[in-house]
Amino acid sequence: MIVEGKVTGITKFGAFVDLENGKTGMVHISEVAPTYVNDIKDHLKEGQTVKVKILAISDDGKISLSIKKAQPPQHPAGNRPFRGSSAPRQNGPSSYEWQPPRQSESASFEDMLSRFKQTSDEKISNLKRANESRRGGSRRGNFQK
């Protein structure tokens, strides 16, 4: 559920938000923006009104919130990296950045880590193959004295 709230406190690990129902929840620093957040004060100010998604309510009443999941996806059409081995090669480091799967909200951390490792291994393998084909294959042991 997405609700509005007011930022009432900021710490180095997150922000506290008063919700419409009078309860207070916390947005962890990793849930503030879709990009890496080094300093939370670059993104939030005390007294600011924000839209948050309620992620979980623990047994002891603690409310876990997310600002980034309350916002629509930030991917412009045609600018997302392709998946799969038949994708055209893109120039620049952005083509090798890991993109979490869309169903990551329901996936466990272990599942996401496993997918990341698999994707990373595939990309490293593809890079090694491409480098070897440019050099004409492995040349170890083929030189004479």
Q: Is 0.85 topped by the overall pTM?
A: no
pLDDT in tens, 105-144: 556 777 778 888 888 888 888 888 888 777 765 555 555 5
pLDDT in tens, 58-102: 899 899 999 999 887 765 555 555 555 444 455 544 445 555 555
C-alpha 57/C-alpha 76 separation (Å) is 33
Q: Are residues 8 and 60 in the same domain?
A: yes
Q: Are residues 13 and 50 in the same domain?
A: yes
Give the closest residue to 67 by CA, choosing from 11, 116, 16, 132: 16
Q: Are residues 43 and 8 in the same domain?
A: yes
Residue span of the structural domain in which 62 resides = 2-70
Q: Which residues pair with 2 in a beta bridge?
A: 53
Would you call 18 exposed, middle or buried from its count of C-beta atoms within 10 A (0-12, 13-18, 19+)? middle
